[in-house]
């Protein structure tokens, strides 16, 4: 009987491992070519892996919750009834490998909690045009949003890791509020519920009430990236208070004047940042430590720090400098919504050259942010509130905010960083000066 071993495929984006979230098949099941056999969670997204063989499942080479390495055995299929190529290799498997090497997007199917049942499995890359981005450093892995169908009114917990976390914490699944799309309970929902209860975790009664949460998936990716940033980048932070009264008025005026497109405050801030950054190209850089070189980019690939149910994400708007304010506002709205619902393609979570962080949404004034490695700068803006301010020698109340940047001291000195920050501040205090020719 022929036995074929299918290894965990290359997941793209430089990812080397994934956590098994849920097996869709068991030993003895019959599988068809392209049938989804397992859901895994990577540092970028949740993805479903289809099988390139048909036959009977002989062995699953990992349990739910295990970390699997790319290239290691994932599943063995026996009695594979597939046509052979001239060299004896299964045709379906060869086609699968060709698609994987070509980056066709047919290999992995990613999904987020913001989408309902599709009624059928879609192969990514065939139902929508591929996105081409010149000069963007991001890899071009494509994913398609799809959500496994559910039945009845049962509590929806797609991940056994989430289910175990809830049960170990002594929580009833029916009592957890689901923020995910279509009532799906996410890890963030469970963690919020745990924070609001005094029940000691049932699985760890002898450890002083400590709940152990595996550092995997996107949480591990965040930890690794920020730890690397702190270890490698000699960063410095500067900040300034700014009168944002004119900014808020400009945003209100623009909202009603650009073809009916809603212009968010974040879009205006992003545009002002881009205009200022073009005057200080030193900051649109990364450092190649191995080569001992600074890589300065012509285009600005703008990352937007966003807090989501899956953790901190930094979706990237590629070549943001080529968009006018209206186009930027539309792309920003689309990108942040995809990140919020967990359905953003993995390729749009990397390749940034500069990050904007609106931490004011958390009700705080300032932050010494950690640079999003391997970038060189992160610009943050705090909440905008009424504060006393001196205008033309008179004390008055104005809308005031604080700007701060953390910058890599290897790419520039304080004069450049301070000049950039002061320019952004000047634009915020007089946005018409910057936006006059940018619409």
Q: What is the CATH number for 270?
A: 3.30.559.10
pLDDT digits (tens, 9 = 90+) for 339-364: 887 777 777 888 999 999 998 888 99
Total domains present in the chain: 3
Does the active-site annotation cover 409?
A: yes
Cα dihedral 216, 302, 264, 250, rounded to 10, equals: 150
pLDDT digits (tens, 9 = 90+) for 397-427: 999 999 999 999 999 999 999 999 999 999 9
Collapse the DSSP code of 384 into the 3-class scheme (helix H, G, I; strand E, B; otherwise coil) and give the result: coil
* 230 and 209 co-located in one domain: no
pLDDT digits (tens, 9 = 90+) for 178-209: 765 446 677 677 777 777 643 333 344 436 78
* 313 and 288 co-located in one domain: yes
For residue 219, the tally of other CB atoms under 10 A from its CB is: 16
For residues 429-439, average pLDDT? 78
CATH label of the domain that carries residue 77:
2.40.50.100
* 277 and 190 co-located in one domain: no
Q: Which of 84, 111, 138 is the last residue of a domain?
A: 111
Collapse the DSSP code of 381 into the 3-class scheme (helix H, G, I; strand E, B; otherwise coil) and give the result: strand
pLDDT digits (tens, 9 = 90+) for 61-98: 999 888 888 899 999 999 755 434 444 444 444 544 44
* 197 and 241 co-located in one domain: no
Shortest CA distance to 414 belongs to which of 229, 235, 273?
235
Where does the pLDDT of residue 148 fall: very low under 50, low under 70, confident under 90, or very high at 90 and above?
very low
* 162 and 233 co-located in one domain: no
* 65 and 196 co-located in one domain: no
* 281 and 393 co-located in one domain: yes
Where does the pLDDT of residue 56 fall: very low under 50, low under 70, confident under 90, or very high at 90 and above?
very high
Residue 127 within a domain:
no
Residue 177 within a domain:
yes
- Cα(329)–Cα(335) distance, rounded to whole angstroms? 10
* 301 and 359 co-located in one domain: yes
* 225 and 206 co-located in one domain: no
Where does the pLDDT of residue 14 fall: very low under 50, low under 70, confident under 90, or very high at 90 and above?
low
* 257 and 384 co-located in one domain: yes
Residues in contact with 433: Cβ distance below 8 Å, sequence separation at least 6, in sequence order: 426, 427
pLDDT digits (tens, 9 = 90+) for 278-299: 999 999 999 998 899 999 999 9
Main-chain dihedrals φ then ψ at residue 179, nearest 5 degrees: -95, -15
Residue in the block written with tokens 């004896």: 88
Catalytic pick among 61, 301, 373, 409: 409
- pLDDT for the residue numbered 269: 95
Helices (H), ranges, 176-259: 187-195, 217-232, 245-255
- pLDDT for the residue numbered 173: 73
* 222 and 170 co-located in one domain: no
Collapse the DSSP code of 387 into the 3-class scheme (helix H, G, I; strand E, B; otherwise coil) and give the result: strand
- pLDDT for the residue numbered 275: 96
Q: Which domain holds residue 369?
A: 218-435
* 209 and 226 co-located in one domain: no
- pLDDT for the residue numbered 159: 53
């Amino acid at each position: 009987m022929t036995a074929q071993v299918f290894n965990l495929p290359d997941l793209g984006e430089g990812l080397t491992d994934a956590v098994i979230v849920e097996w869709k098949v068991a030993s003895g099941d019959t599988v068809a070519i392209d049938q989804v056999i397992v859901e895994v969670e990577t540092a970028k997204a949740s993805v479903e892996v289809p099988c390139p063989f048909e036959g009977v499942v002989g062995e699953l080479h990992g349990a739910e919750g295990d970390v699997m390495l790319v290239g290691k055995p994932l599943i063995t299929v026996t009695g594979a009834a597939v046509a052979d190529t001239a060299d004896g290799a299964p045709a379906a498997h060869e086609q699968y490998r060709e698609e994987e090497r070509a980056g066709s997007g047919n290999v992995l199917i990613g999904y987020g909690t913001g989408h309902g049942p599709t009624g059928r499995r879609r192969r990514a890359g065939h139902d929508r045009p591929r996105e081409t981005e010149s000069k963007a450093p991001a890899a071009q892995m494509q994913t398609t949003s799809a959500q496994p169908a559910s039945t009845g009114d049962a509590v929806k917990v797609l991940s056994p890791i989430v289910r175990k976390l809830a049960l170990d914490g002594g929580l009833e699944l029916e009592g957890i509020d689901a923020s995910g799309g279509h009532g799906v309970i996410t890890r963030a929902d469970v963690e919020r519920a745990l924070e609001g209860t005094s029940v000691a975790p049932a699985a760890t009664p002898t450890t002083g009430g400590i709940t152990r949460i595996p550092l995997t998936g996107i949480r591990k990716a965040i930890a690794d990236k920020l730890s690397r940033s702190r270890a490698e980048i000699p960063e410095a932070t500067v900040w300034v208070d700014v009168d944002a009264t004119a900014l808020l008025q400009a945003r209100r005026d623009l909202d009603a004047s650009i073809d009916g497109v809603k212009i968010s405050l974040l879009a205006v801030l992003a545009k002002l940042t881009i205009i200022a950054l073009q005057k200080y190209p030193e900051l649109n850089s990364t450092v190649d430590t191995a080569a001992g070189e600074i890589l300065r980019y012509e285009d600005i690939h703008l990352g937007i720090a966003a807090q989501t149910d899956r953790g901190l994400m930094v979706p990237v708007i590629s070549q943001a400098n080529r968009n006018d304010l209206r186009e930027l506002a539309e792309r920003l709205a689309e990108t942040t919504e995809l990140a919020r619902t967990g359905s953003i393609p993995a390729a749009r979570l990397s390749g940034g050259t500069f990050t904007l962080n609106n931490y004011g949404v958390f009700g705080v004034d300032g932050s010494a942010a950690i640079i999003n490695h391997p970038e060189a700068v992160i610009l943050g803006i705090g909440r905008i509130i009424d504060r006393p301010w001196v205008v033309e020698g008179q004390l008055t109340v104005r809308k005031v905010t604080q700007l701060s940047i953390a910058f890599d001291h290897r790419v520039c000195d304080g004069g450049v960083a301070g000049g950039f920050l002061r320019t952004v501040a000047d634009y915020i205090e007089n946005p018409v000066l910057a936006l006059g020719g940018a619409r």
